[in-house]
Structures are given as structure tokens and as C-alpha cells.
């Protein structure tokens, strides 16, 4: 399997990883049970690894916004970007975030997100808008965001969505495949 994965990558995995990146890669592998390919590839650019690591360490969590809202935004951004790795990783959190099977299915089908609740629907719309080029926020979405979130929460959402977009572009640009985080029991991931 390793050879198959490496064959998909644009560049080979680095043979040397700086000593100070190894603990982070080891910890990621231990927590996820998966090979952290994006992190390994960043060994070619250690300054980028530090920046990405800090970005990950300071990512929004349950204390910043409800997990449901963050999961909806991450899944929607991953879906629009079409990144197999990001979609696989972000969809895998659905149950822990408090989503139910039908809600996950709605998200993955790209159905109208209003069935999710006002805040989740606003987060999905924002994620979709920020993950497209050019970014366009219509008046209805702006109103929905202002009605649903505080200014701080809108900034947290924008940062979360931008983070997914960063990893999506990075992973797709280097050919990183899905890693098998999501077991597919609730519903299959959309094919790209």
C-alpha cells in the first residue's frame, strides 16, 4: 500500500525529516493511526511545517464554536474543494461532533443545509462561498451570518474555513490521497 500511495504523490516522501519534526509526526501517527503524509511532505520545507503546525495547534475547537457548527463548515469546505484527504479526515468527525446520519448525508449530497439548523446552515453557506473562486458573499448570506453569529464567531468560522482550504490546496497540489479516516458506514463519500 505504501508504494501505491507514494506513486500517487507528485514528489517522493522525503528520506530525511528534521529531528524536531519527528515528535510531531510520531504523535500525529499515534493519535490518528494513519501516516501523516501532509506533515511528512512538509519536511521539505521546515519553515512551512512550523507555520502549519502552529495553525493546527491554534485551530478552532469546541470552546470557540459548537462542534456541530465547526464540523459542518469543515465538511462543506472539503466538499467544495474536492480534496480526498480533507474530506476523508473531516467527515470522520461527524459522530463526535454531534451530527446524525441523515445530517451527514445532507452535507455530502450538497443538499439545502437549512434542515441542519440556522447556525449550521449559515456555516455551510459561508464555507461554500469562501471555498469557491472568486469568493462572493451575497446579501442574504451576510444577513444570515450576522443573525447567527457574533463578530468573533464569524472570524473563527472564516479562519476555520481558510484552514481547510489551505490543507486542501496543499494536499491536492501534492497528490495526497484519502487516508481512510472515515469508515463509510453512514453513507459513502462522493466520488470526484
**Could you read off the pLDDT of 83-140 as tens digits, one per residue?**
999 999 999 999 999 999 999 999 998 877 778 999 999 999 999 999 999 999 999 9
Task: Work out the average pLDDT over 16-44.
Answer: 94
Mean pLDDT of the chain: 92
Domain boundaries, the chain: 2-57, 67-173
> Is residue 146 predicted with pLDDT exceeding 50?
yes
Give per-residue pLDDT as tens, 171-192.
Answer: 999 999 999 999 887 888 886 5
What's residue 127's pLDDT?
Answer: 97
| Residues 20-54 as b or e (16 or more Cβ within 10 Å = b) | ebeebbeebeeeeeebbbbbbbbbeeeeebeebee
Residues 6+ apart with CB under 8 A from 185: none
Query: Looking at domain 67-173, does it have CATH number 1.20.1290.10?
Result: yes
Percent of the chain with pLDDT over 70: 97
Residues 6+ apart with CB under 8 A from 113: 72, 76, 106, 107, 120, 121, 124, 125
177 contacts 5 by C-beta, under 8 angstroms:
yes
Task: Work out the average pLDDT over 51-55.
Answer: 93
Distance CA 97, CA 67 (A): 5
CA distances from 90 to 20, 57, 180 (A): 27, 16, 11
What's residue 111's pLDDT?
Answer: 75
What's residue 2's pLDDT?
Answer: 55
Q: What is the CA radius of gyration of the chain?
A: 17
pTM of the model: 0.93
What's residue 187's pLDDT?
Answer: 81
**CA nearest neighbour of 40 among 181, 161, 174:** 174
Amino acid at each position: 500500500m505504501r508504494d501505491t500511495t507514494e506513486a500517487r504523490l507528485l514528489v517522493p516522501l522525503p528520506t530525511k525529516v528534521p529531528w524536531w519534526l519527528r515528535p510531531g509526526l510520531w504523535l500525529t501517527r499515534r493519535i490518528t493511526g494513519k501516516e501523516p503524509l501532509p506533515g511528512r511532505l512538509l519536511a521539505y520545507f521546515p519553515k512551512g511545517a512550523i507555520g502549519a503546525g502552529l495553525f493546527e495547534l491554534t485551530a478552532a475547537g469546541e470552546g470557540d464554536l459548537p462542534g456541530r457548527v465547526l464540523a459542518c463548515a469543515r465538511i462543506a469546505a472539503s466538499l467544495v474543494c474536492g480534496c480526498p484527504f480533507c474530506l476523508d479526515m473531516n467527515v470522520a468527525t461527524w459522530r463526535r461532533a454531534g451530527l446524525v446520519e441523515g445530517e451527514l448525508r445532507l452535507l455530502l449530497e450538497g443538499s439545502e443545509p437549512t434542515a441542519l439548523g440556522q447556525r449550521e446552515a449559515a456555516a455551510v453557506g459561508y464555507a461554500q462561498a469562501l471555498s469557491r473562486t472568486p469568493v462572493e458573499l451575497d446579501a442574504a448570506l451576510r444577513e444570515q451570518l450576522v443573525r447567527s453569529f457574533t463578530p468573533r464567531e464569524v472570524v473563527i468560522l472564516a479562519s476555520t474555513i481558510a484552514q481547510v482550504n489551505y490543507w486542501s490546496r496543499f494536499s491536492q497540489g501534492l497528490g495526497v490521497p484519502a487516508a481512510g479516516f472515515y469508515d463509510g458506514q453512514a453513507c459513502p463519500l462522493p466520488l470526484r
